[in-house]
Amino acid sequence: MSSNQGVALQPFVWRDYLELCKPRVVALMLLTVLVGMFLATPGWIPLITLFASLIGIACAAGSAAAINHLVDKRIDAIMARTSKRPVARGRVSVKQALYFALLLGTVGLVILFFFVNLLTAVLTFITIIGYAGVYTGYLKRATPQNIVIGGLAGAAPPLLGWTAVTNQLDPQALLLVLIIFTWTPPHFWALAIYRFEEYRHAEIPMLPVTHGIAFTKLNVLLYTILLLVVSALPFAVGMSGLIYMLGALVLGGRFLYWSIVLYSTEKPIIALRTFRFSIIYLMILFVFLLIDHWI
């Protein structure tokens, strides 16, 4: 028997590598990047900047996602939601996933450095380290506030889009970051409530596991109220107009409705519905920002 048999490379299946990148998450993230880019300028964006930014940031995000699969291999195998992921199931080996993550990350940063600007490349690199290293590698297992602290890395995409166009940090771009940062806790905690038993079994200190489901529901409600306030800031500072504000109020009201229902019921399915709506909320909110900007 060969001594290398235990680390033999698995056959290449492109769907498995696509799954490593978490394409749905990356797609939502790229929407916020695109909105950040267009809100940064009143005019059209040069095509080379547009496509290089989206491709570079997508590659970097895919790299961070692949590292997440690697670090969470044991946890993913335990939890029903993630048990079929390619690394957890052995369809992609640890070595293959590591090489793939390094390749994607390098390609993404090189594209951003040469075709966009240094600031965006540096911020993207910091985001990879923040998500894949600080959040996934440490915070996720260290504190029930993991998603609050680590959420800053996940909130960075619109800032990256903004700096890709302007090559500078801007307070208005940070408002977009603040919206996603505030949205992240109720989004993930709703899922954590629904998947409570899985997180408990995997020994991940998510808020429902450490402080109970009732306390987590209260925090989802409070953060949703805070999100409703934060989402009004672009209108308050003149960054966006009435179309966005009306959309933000309607979406925020619906999110608040689901948070109140979640707080007042014991049905686990409500937590899942709240989680699913939170994704729709963020997507449409940023679409409203874009529509308002062009109209």
Q: How sure is the predictor about 286, in pLDDT bands with cuts at 50, 70 and 90?
A: very high
Q: Which of 168, 191, 223 is the last residue of a domain?
A: 168
Tokens of 194: 């629904």
The pair of structure tokens assigned to 138 is 């440490």
Mean pLDDT, all residues of the chain: 92
Question: Structurally, how many domains does the chain consist of?
Answer: 2
Residue 4 falls inside a structural domain: no
Dist. CA 191–CA 272, nearest whole Å: 6
Whether residue 79 is found in the same domain as residue 218 = no
Print the domain residue range for 40: 10-168
- Residues 30 and 148 placed together within one structural domain of the fold: yes
Do residue 80 and residue 148 come from a single domain? yes
- pLDDT (tens digit per residue) in 215-229: 999 999 999 999 999
| Confidence band of 257 (pLDDT split at 50, 70, 90) | very high
Which SS3 state, helix, strand or coil, does residue 46 take? coil
Domain presence at residue 295: yes
pLDDT at residue number 90: 87
Q: pTM for the whole thing?
A: 0.92
For residues 88 and 159, state if they share a domain.
yes
**38 and 139 inside one domain:** yes
Neighbours of 261 (CB within 10 A): 14
Amino acid, single-letter form, for residue 25:
V
* Domain end residue (candidates: 168, 200, 216): 168
> Does residue 1 carry a pLDDT above 50?
no
DSSP string, 166-230: HSS--HHHHHHHHHHHHHHHHHHHHHHHHTHHHHHHTT---HHHHH-HHHHHHHHHHHHHHHHHH
Q: Are residues 255 and 118 in the same domain?
A: no
